[in-house]
Amino acid sequence: MPEIEILARALIIKKGSVLLTRKKHRDYLFLPGGHVEWNEPARKALERELWEEMGLRLKAGRFLGGIEHAFRSGRHRTHEINLVFLVLGQRVPRPAPSRERKIEFIWIPITGLRKFNLQPSVLKGLIPLWQKNKVPAWAGTMEERTSLIITS
């Protein structure tokens, strides 16, 4: 039986743009971050992942919300819970560095997110809300209709 993956993700906004990750030779984007390891706090996992992937010592800030997401890539099935934290992006250069050959980081204007294959797709609506300090506590892509709970 497949497991559910727990991921810590960073929302890094700078001058109206959001930093996104792309696996080279793939057509989708996602928030920077990665897997939470056994007995590792999600905030620390995010800080570790940002160091490993970018070589930057960044601090995970306020918890913004969680997103449940399931998808298929070929024969591979994934079910994940994304825990999203605000990370202050003043120290993230343009272009953002990548220490891993298989990924790159791209700054995308928040106003243009709808044009891109951002996954989970519910982020296209959440990121502008988070930028305005409205805090959706949970978003799911598991139902037919995307559910979104706003707490402000």
pLDDT score recorded for residue 140? 56
Residue boundaries of the structural domains of the chain: 4-151
Confidence of residue 2 (pLDDT cuts 50, 70, 90): low
pLDDT tens for residues 15-52? Answer: 999 999 999 988 899 999 999 999 999 999 999 999 99
pLDDT tens for residues 84-93? Answer: 999 987 789 8
Share of residues in the chain with pLDDT > 90 (%): 62
User: With b meaning 16 or more CB within 10 Å and e meaning fewer, what string describes 91-119?
Assistant: ebeeebebeeeebbbebbeeeebeebebb
pLDDT score recorded for residue 1? 44
Q: What is the pTM of this model?
A: 0.85
What CATH number should be reported for the domain whose range is 4-151? Answer: 3.90.79.10
CA distance 94 to 52: 18
pLDDT score recorded for residue 141? 53
CA distance 148 to 57: 32
State whether the Cα torsion 117-7-80-37 is positive or negative. Answer: positive
pLDDT score recorded for residue 148? 46
pLDDT tens for residues 119-139? Answer: 998 999 999 988 887 765 555
Burial label for 48, CB within 10 Å (0-12, 13-18, 19+), is: middle
CA distance 4 to 79: 5
**Per-residue pLDDT for 103 more than 50?**
yes
CA distance 19 to 12: 6
pLDDT score recorded for residue 151? 41
Whether 137 and 149 have beta carbons less than 8 Å apart is answered as yes
Residue 28 C-alpha from the chain's centroid? 12
Strongest mean pLDDT among 5-14, 68-77, 81-90: 5-14
Residue 72 C-alpha from the chain's centroid? 18
